[in-house]
Amino acid sequence: MFIEVKNAVKQYGSGESLIRAMDGVDFTAEKGEITVILGPSGSGKSTLLNMLGGIDSPDSGLIRIGETELTSQGKSGLSEYRRKHVGFVFQSYNLIPDLTVRENVEVVADISKDPLSIDELLETLNLTKQKHKFPRELSGGQQQRCAIARALVKNPQILLCDELTGALDSKSSRDVLTMLEKINREYKTTIVIITHNEGISGMADRIIRIHDGKIVENSMNSRKLPVSELQI
């Protein structure tokens, strides 16, 4: 298996205000799978995704992605893992304000071993006209697509998306998801998507539901749909 999470625990605060954001999470997924994570607000979805991306570490338990055991890495090991292998689309966009759309993508391509073509990627994400604009000159959806271009350009082994389509209308959501479907097919990229949109779970190989820091469902999707047939 490509993703392995074993008995991961993450607590915040203490005493009365103690929160178990992850309360003994076990989860595995195979290479090339699309996993969709669903669950109410505050249930621990972003916490789990941040751990898979090496941005945060659990208090106890094990996390392994591919060859890398994240839970035994120090700071520099984790940062190398993030740089080489992970594409992350955050709940907030995290664009660099002083760089244009193209430059935002270029800075990531420059430090990547095998980057995709920036102009092709921007074309696919329907951003060619916005190429030379700054983030403050873009709509929310355009900023989101630029963030996705940044995550994809390094052609990562694992792509982690937190509320990828939360700010998009259904047409743009479909375009972006079609793009992920294509990346997944062409490069066997392992993809994990957090969403509140049940319809998106139709495109998953694996569906995970989280409640109060616990995984309450981990099942394979017996009726996987192409993005064009999703009810979103």
Q: Which does 19 bind (CB under 5 to 8 A by kind): ligand ATP, Mg ion, none?
A: ligand ATP
Q: Does 209 bind ligand ATP (CB under 6 A)?
A: no
Nearest to 192 by CA among 44, 82, 58, 46: 46
Residue 232: count of CB within 10 angstroms of its CB: 17
Query: What residue has token string 């999703």?
Result: 230
Stretch that binds ligand ATP, among 26-34, 41-49, 122-130, 164-172 (CB under 6 A): 41-49
Question: How many residues belong to the chain?
Answer: 232
Query: Which of 7, 12, 107, 219: binder of ligand ATP (CB under 6 A)?
Result: 12
Q: CB–CB of 54/86 below 8 Å?
A: yes
Query: Which of 35, 43, 46, 190: binder of Mg ion (CB under 5 A)?
Result: 46
Instruction: Compare residues 81 and 90 and give the one whose CB is closer to ligand ATP.
Output: 90
Amino acid occupying residue 54: G
Q: Residue 115 Cβ, how far from ligand ATP at the closest point, in Å?
A: 29
How many residues interact with Mg ion (rule CB under 5 A)?
1
Q: Does 195 bind ligand ATP (CB under 6 A)?
A: no
Q: What does the block give as tokens for 33?
A: 């799978």
Q: Does 44 bind ligand ATP (CB under 6 A)?
A: yes
Q: Does 46 bind ligand ATP (CB under 6 A)?
A: yes
Query: Which of 43, 143, 190, 197: binder of ligand ATP (CB under 6 A)?
Result: 43
Q: In what order do the strands lie in the sheet with 206-211?
A: 86-89, 158-162, 190-194, 34-38, 206-211, 214-220
Residues in contact with 92: Cβ distance below 8 Å, sequence separation at least 6, in sequence order: none
Site of interaction with ligand ATP (CB under 6 A): 12, 19, 21, 39, 41-47
